[in-house]
Structure 1
Amino acid sequence: IKVFMDDFTVYGSSFDACLDSLERVLNRCIETNLVLNFEKFHFLVEQGIILGHIISSRGIELDPAKISVIAQFHYPSYVREVRSFLGHASFYRRFIKDFSKKSLPLSSLL
């Protein structure tokens, strides 16, 4: 079970393990009168988008929708645009080898 802010993810090595964990989480929600948004509830999925990353049995991957936003950025003309671009790009720094070196020319403009 992973919790981040107001989201949680239940996963496991087997279907039964997932059901057991989910049952414990849902019982705890009932005990504490926590209301869940079932529109955001995804059950029995092999992958999901969590915090802008695609999580699956293959591991953590980039969400193509987020990458297309970065790819469509226009060349920055103002400091706030440089900050905005670097903020978006640095969200995926774990996937970009030598990100700090590659982003240094833009960072030095700030």
Structure 2
Amino acid sequence: MPFGLTNAPAAFQRFVNSIFADMLDVCVMVYLDDILIYSHDLESHRKHVKEVLCRLCCHSLYAKPKKCEFHRDSVEYLGYVLSPSGLTMDIQSFLGFVNFYRRFIHNYSEIVVPLTRLTRKNMPWNFSEECRSAFIRLKDAFTSAPILTHWVPDAPITVETDASDYAIVGILSITCPDDELRPVAFYSRTLTAPELNYDTHDKELLAIFEAFRHWRHYLEGSATPVDVVTDHKNLEPAGQSTSPNSTWRSASDQAA
């Protein structure tokens, strides 16, 4: 079947449905080229797998071995994890969903750290209490996320930043006509392996630099001065520092 045809997915779905018509919802589920074979016991499962492979072969359809998984008691299928105990979410799909709305969630990167660890290669699945707490915090954040205000170019600007042991965060806000400070956007990311070795001072400075770089299209050439709010008082003289840390001096100049 040629690529790009509008009706190609529907035509292919009808084709595979016709091949497994008597097996559908009995021991087979098919969505396009994703075939799920399920059975009550191992002996039946072997027969079902053999029958599916034979039918594919008879219709000149072939499965790539590296994309197949056999004799599994749990499997990822269409964004879910299926197992004898029930249906659970695929953590990668969940993170992909919440990542789309990260600009509404303060401290997003720091919150999801326990969950992103589960996606590492060869990492054993262990939905610990820390992971459960992260999930609940995300759920609460979604149901109570603040309304982000529209950007007003000539409004007073405030950038709030902070850094933890493994993440940096920022809040871009403007002062509205009613003198209320309202958020425009949130920013966060986890620290890279080299950045994890930075001392507290450099992590806090990195948070400021990354916030200014991320929102450069808002901040560069702004009509009003930008107020930077940080809980690390030792950063106040950083702009006037004559220390040999030229890398951060250069970064600060670029951000400013």
TM-score category, normalised to shorter length = 0.5 to 0.7
Aligned match of 1:20? 47
Separation in structure 1 between the aligned mates of residue 30 and residue 96 of structure 2, nearest angstrom: 26
Q: Which digits, 9 at most, give the CA deviation of each residue in 1:28-50, with x for residues without a partner? A: 11111111111111011111110
- Quick one: which of 32, 35, 38 aligns to 1:8? 35
1 CA distance for matches of 2:61 and 2:85? 32
- Residue 58 (structure 2) pairs with residue 31 (structure 1): yes
Aligned equivalents of 1:38, 1:51: Cα separation in 2: 19
Instruction: Provide Cα deviations, 1:4-54, integer angstroms capped at 9, x if missing partner.
Output: 111101110000111111111111111111111111110111111100100
Q: Structure 1: where are the runs of 5+ without partners?
A: 77-101, 103-110
Equivalent of 1:42 in 60, 69, 78: 69
Q: Return the alpha-carbon distance in structure 1 between the equivalents of residues 32 and 42 of structure 2.
A: 25
Once the two structures are aligned, what percentage of the paired residues are identical? 19
TM-score, structure 1 normalization:
0.63
SS of the residue corresponding to residue 54 of structure 1 reads strand
Following the alignment from structure 2 to structure 1, what is the Cα–Cα distance between the partners of residues 97 and 60? 40
Give the aligned residue type for 1:41. C
The residue that corresponds to 1:75 in the other structure is: 103
Length, aligned pairs only: 78
Q: CA deviation at 1:69?
A: 2.3
With the length of structure 2 as denominator, give the TM-score of the two structures: 0.29
Match for 1:74: what amino acid?
R
Give the Cα–Cα distance (whole angstroms) in 2 for the partners of residues 31 and 70 of structure 1.
Answer: 39
**2-structure distance, mates of 1:40, 1:19:** 18
Structure 2 distance, partners of 1:52, 1:28, is 26
Write the distance in 1 (CA, Å) between the matches of 2:95 and 2:34: 25
In the TM superposition, what is the alpha-carbon distance from 1:75 to its structure 2 partner? 3.1
Measure the CA separation in 1 of the matches of 2:94 and 2:57. 38
TM-align CA RMSD? 1.9
What is the CA–CA distance in structure 2 between the aligned matches of 1:33 and 1:19, rounded to whole Å?
21
1:53 aligned residue (72, 80, 83): 80
Cα shift at 1:58: 1.2
Q: What CA distance in whole angstroms lies between the structure 2 residues aligned with 1:54 and 1:34?
A: 26
